[in-house]
Structure 1
Amino acid sequence: MYKKAVPFFMITRTPLHAGSGQDLGFVDLPIQREKHTDFPKIEASGIKGSLKEAFENSNKTIKIAGKNIDAKEHKEVVKFIFGPEDGDLHAGLLGFTNARVLLFPVKSIKGVFAWITCPMVLERFKEELEMRIIDDLNKQRELFKIPTERSIVKGSNLIIEDKNGKEKIVLEEYTFSDVVETEECSKFAEWIAERIFPNNDYWKEKMKKDIVVLSNDDFRDFVKFSTEIVTRIKIDNEKGTVEGNALFTEEYLPSETILYSFALISSLSPGTDIDKKYFSSDKNKKEDIIMQYFKDGIPEIMQIGGNTTIGKGIVKIQIWEDKYERER
């Protein structure tokens, strides 16, 4: 049973391909998607594998409950936390949820690009946060109000005016002339920007002005048809031409996509030497020790998905820093 959950965001800095295998559609190698919504996702197994590798290769000096980790035992500690290769020994003490898209970047005629979302995405995000980080005493305090569809931030950078002075926004080749500037959208944009970009003023200010809440259907269409499609070939080194039928297309989540996931922390006691040495404490609960180890050790920049050697899948990790939680 998981005792604690740590929310974290992933901001794609380069296009990311978390593949689902070959497909019969027009894209040979599509990205992973939820079956019932067609929204992009990253399977939890891929996130866990990437994080485990990042922890194993990390040069960070991490203390566990005030104890320095013996250099020779570094990888054993990682295996203990994430689970050994032989799953029959014991389960890992860290689990993860699938990463879901929260904000999707779409080209805009003004402001370069907008981050779009929809009520369904925001409702799921809010429900997951309430289930995992808010205790019963604070249920009455709402995290944020979900803006209505077709709403934008007050004073948005995306607004243009037609010849009649009517405000509208243009995303890709689609015009939305019925958008409304709302207080709820402005407050949500400010709320989420503070948590995704707490230490980057440029991106924080852009997010506060450039979020658009579309209808669920419009959002689905954009995340389905506005991903990056790249055609790749394999060249015959001797002839300098395409080798055989080596022409294929790959799908990518674009740079600046915002996803979220949860690290789930268990308090199992496998009773191994590593468990007894580092994670058994009279002062601290095991789940608290593991949570702090994860927060201290998670890299700020890491790689997820395929095509590592051509620079794909570079993401920035931002652990949840909630002022509401600290101030309550």
Structure 2
Amino acid sequence: MNPEQSTTALLFIHALSPLHAGTGQGIGAIDLPIAREKATGIPYLPGSSLKGILRDRAQGKGWDKDTLFAVFGPETEAASEHAGAVQVGDAKLLLLPVRSLYGVFALVTSPYLLERFRREAEMAGLTPPPLPPSLGQGQILVAPNSRLPEGGKVYLEDLDLEARSTPGVGEWEDWLTRTQAPVAGRLAVVHDDVMAFLLETATEVVARIRLDDATKTVAQGALWYEESLPAESVLYSMVRAEPSRRKEKALPAEAGLALFKGLLQGALQLGGKATVGRGLCRVSVGG
């Protein structure tokens, strides 16, 4: 496949309710943890979750079989025939909402998260602002108009960090308005080590129970703990399209990607626990 025939786009995923992209049974205190990258421990949403939901939506919209198979690939039993034209990458975390003493909550990121986001955004033809200046573990970078600082400090959960105002964070706030998340006055950049701590302690963990139908009390052994990314989290996913490999449906890369983008209208339910309102997301195209 000629690389010049392919086209890419960046998708932003804004969680409107807690997002549970699970990994099955946990081995620690949390019975149902979220998926995390092995090397970094950063939460992510598998690309298969997004692709599967959009494939179902395409079927619901009445796509003909050849178009559906050209864009998403054939059914599992015929998967060896050809690949789909659209490749959906895992959705990586960009902004984590963290409770703040002032401004209600902050949308927190770190130099590493911004660096790898910038790398993929440039691959998709976007031009994000420059990376903000370096900072120490006890510092936090905010925009000049931030609603988070009070008395030179920003208080996140049980952390108090020295606030440093920089126009660079304001540029990122302006640029990230395209995610449709409430970033204005709330964006904060912390040290990578502090971010690692927040990724372990600032996710949402809730106790779930199942009631016995007869007694309306907790059924024996039916208590478990479940982890989710909080509502207002922002993730991003790289999408790449190539010309169709299906003989019955010639489709240029741009046309396949356009069909894929057309499925993003309205809210999507991603991850698990849909019946209890988890995973309601707004997906938009960057740029």
Equivalence map 1:1-328=2 (5 Å):
1=1, 3-58=6-61, 73-85=63-75, 86-133=78-125, 143-148=128-133, 149=135, 150-161=140-151, 167-176=152-161, 178-193=162-177, 195-197=178-180, 206-272=182-248, 275-276=249-250, 279=251, 286-321=252-287
Larger mean CA deviation between 263-272 and 11-20 belongs to 263-272
Q: Is the 8 A contact 1:54 1:302 kept in 2?
A: no
Q: Is the 8 A contact 2:66 2:246 kept in 1?
A: no
Q: Is the 8 A contact 1:300 1:318 kept in 2?
A: no
Q: AA paired with 1:259?
A: L
Greater C-alpha radius of gyration: 1
Q: Report how far residue 33 of structure 1 moved.
A: 0.3
1:164 corresponds to: none
Q: Report how far residue 84 of structure 1 moved.
A: 1.1
Q: Is the 8 A contact 1:232 1:249 kept in 2?
A: yes
Q: Is the 8 A contact 2:70 2:245 kept in 1?
A: no
Change (3 A) 1:75 1:256: farther
Secondary structure in structure 2 of the residue aligned to 1:21 = coil
Superposed CA deviations along residues 146-201 of structure 1, whole A, max 9, x for unmatched, are 1134211112101112xxxxx1110112111x2210111111111122x212xxxx
Q: Is the 8 A contact 2:128 2:172 kept in 1?
A: no
Q: Report how far residue 143 of structure 1 moved.
A: 3.1
Q: Report how far residue 98 of structure 1 moved.
A: 0.7
Secondary structure in structure 2 of the residue aligned to 1:217 = helix
Distance, in Å, in 2 between the alignment partners of 1:55 and 1:160 is 49
Gaps of 5+ in 2: none
Q: Is the 8 A contact 2:83 2:245 kept in 1?
A: no
Q: Is the 8 A contact 1:107 1:113 kept in 2?
A: yes
Secondary structure in structure 2 of the residue aligned to 1:55 = helix
Report which of the two has the higher share of helix: 1
Distance, in Å, in 1 between the alignment partners of 2:59 and 2:274 is 17
Q: AA paired with 2:200?
A: K
Q: Is the 8 A contact 1:54 1:299 kept in 2?
A: no
Q: Report how far residue 115 of structure 1 moved.
A: 0.3
Q: AA paired with 2:157?
A: E
Distance, in Å, in 1 between the alignment partners of 2:72 and 2:31 is 33
Secondary structure in structure 2 of the residue aligned to 1:296 = helix
Larger mean CA deviation between 115-124 and 293-302 belongs to 293-302
Superposed CA deviations along residues 193-233 of structure 1, whole A, max 9, x for unmatched, are 2x212xxxxx5xx4121100000011111121111111111
Secondary structure in structure 2 of the residue aligned to 1:247 = strand
Q: Is the 8 A contact 2:118 2:128 kept in 1?
A: yes
Distance, in Å, in 2 between the alignment partners of 1:130 and 1:249 is 39
Distance, in Å, in 1 between the alignment partners of 2:80 and 2:228 is 35
Aligned residues: 277
TM-score by length of 2: 0.91
TM-score by length of 1: 0.80
Distance, in Å, in 2 between the alignment partners of 1:120 and 1:249 is 30
